[in-house]
């Protein structure tokens, strides 16, 4: 594996490790924890996280829609860097993984994030089967995260 040439992967892995270190060692910033307890903060930071997830789908649009294909390479770079900072965006919304379906959503979100870090630019493997398998897994997890995000938003506003 050649990770040294992929700065977004290095940044992403560091942020992912730091997120889980703070989680397991229960390192908290009181001011952020108090903010995360406020309903309006939860909603606005949740909106930011939801917009981030929706924006990550723009890469698919640039690959699928013919007239936008010329933007696919630059969009891929933006997609990777946004994916790299996703643990930070998640942390701003919630320093916890949640319970029940939120725990499952967190696991799938971070699994997909890690899978994104280990993309084929990092693995440096020209295998068509590996590429297809990686792409299918990444897109499938992205679809699941998006569906669970919509479910989460529905539950938040339905029960409040």
Nearest one of 96, 110, 77 to 8, comparing CA atoms:
77
Q: Give the separation between CA 153 and CA 48, rounded to whole angstroms.
A: 12
Residue the block writes with tokens 């770079």: 77
For position 5, what pLDDT does the model report?
60
Those residues whose C-beta lies under 8 Å from the C-beta of residue 6, and which sit 6 or more positions away, are: 121, 122
For position 119, what pLDDT does the model report?
86
Q: Decide if 117 contacts 12 (C-beta within 8 A).
A: yes
Question: How crowded is residue 109: how many other Cβ atoms within 10 Å of its Cβ?
Answer: 22
For position 120, what pLDDT does the model report?
75
Q: Give the separation between CA 140 and CA 61, rounded to whole angstroms.
A: 16
For position 3, what pLDDT does the model report?
54
- Note down pLDDT in tens along the chain; length 160 residues: 455 468 999 999 999 999 999 999 999 899 999 999 999 999 999 999 999 999 999 989 998 899 998 998 899 999 999 999 999 999 999 999 999 999 999 999 999 999 999 987 777 677 888 889 999 999 999 999 999 999 999 999 888 6
For position 109, what pLDDT does the model report?
98
Q: Give the separation between CA 78 and CA 75, rounded to whole angstroms.
A: 5
């Amino acid at each position: 594996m050649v990770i040294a040439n992929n700065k977004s992967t290095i940044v992403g892995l560091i942020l992912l490790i730091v997120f889980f270190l703070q989680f397991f060692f229960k390192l908290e910033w009181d001011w952020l924890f108090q903010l995360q307890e406020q309903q309006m903060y939860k909603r606005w930071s949740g909106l930011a996280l939801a917009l981030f997830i929706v924006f990550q789908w723009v890469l698919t649009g640039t690959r699928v829609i013919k007239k936008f294909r010329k933007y696919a390479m630059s969009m891929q770079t933006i997609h990777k860097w946004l994916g790299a900072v996703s643990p930070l965006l998640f942390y701003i919304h919630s320093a916890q993984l949640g319970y029940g379906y939120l725990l499952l959503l967190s696991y799938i979100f971070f699994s997909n994030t890690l899978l994104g870090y280990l993309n084929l630019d990092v693995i440096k493997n020209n295998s068509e089967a590996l590429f297809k398998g990686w792409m299918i897994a990444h897109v499938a997890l992205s679809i699941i995260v998006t569906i669970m995000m919509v479910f989460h938003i529905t539950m938040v506003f339905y029960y409040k």
